[in-house]
Amino acid sequence: AASVEVNGTYDISGLNRTVKNLSGSGFIQSSVSTAHLTVDSNSAHTEFTGVIGSSIERLIKVGNYTLTLSNQQLFVGDVLILEGALKANLTNASSVEVNGTYDLNGVSSSLNNLSGNGVVEDTADAHPTLSLNIEKESAFSGVLHSSLGNLTLNGAHPFTLSGINNYTGTIVTGK
């Protein structure tokens, strides 16, 4: 996979793609059908100021370095963070599995499910709210960092926190 800088439109045309060190300010979409996008941040911290469109079904983050998605994303699929850190506003994402680090980057986020054994934090120290609309029974065995604000849980299904956490915010439960 080659390094990719997107400043126009990058159409992955229904194919699952792996890109290295994503950067730029463009738009990523799949015009033919939904597709998976894997971003390998294995050799540098990078920032993508563009937008990942709603036709991307799954975003997979690998590599030990940080990928920052600094704009609000249209992306509504699943996110899998296998390694390194993803700093992003994932307000529209369906579910996030964190096995690396998910950094809310100062923006409150609403997800349908959270799972994995990684770290959820906010390095911007803005104490954003993490809202989970639990659509299925799920568990997070990682760490919720004290930099987070409120944790809001909604939905009719159980959600289990089983990791050793230093979370000090308020947990608000809905229906």
Q: Return the number of other C-beta atoms located less than 10 Å from residue 31's C-beta.
A: 12
pTM: 0.93
Task: Give residue 144's Cα distance to chain centre.
Answer: 14
CA distances, 108 to each of 27, 38, 39, 144, 150 (Å): 23, 24, 23, 14, 9
End-to-end CA distance of the chain, in Å? 45
Q: Residue 1 has what pLDDT?
A: 57
CA atoms 147, 170, 107, 158: torsion sign: positive
Residue 138, strand partner residues:
159
Q: Residue 51 has what pLDDT?
A: 92
The amino acid occupying position 109 is S
Reading the chain (175 residues) residue by residue, the pLDDT tens digits are 568 899 999 999 999 999 999 999 999 999 988 899 999 999 889 999 999 998 899 999 999 999 999 888 888 889 999 999 999 988 778 899 999 999 999 999 889 899 999 999 999 989 999 999 998 899 999 999 989 999 999 988 999 999 888 888 899 997 6
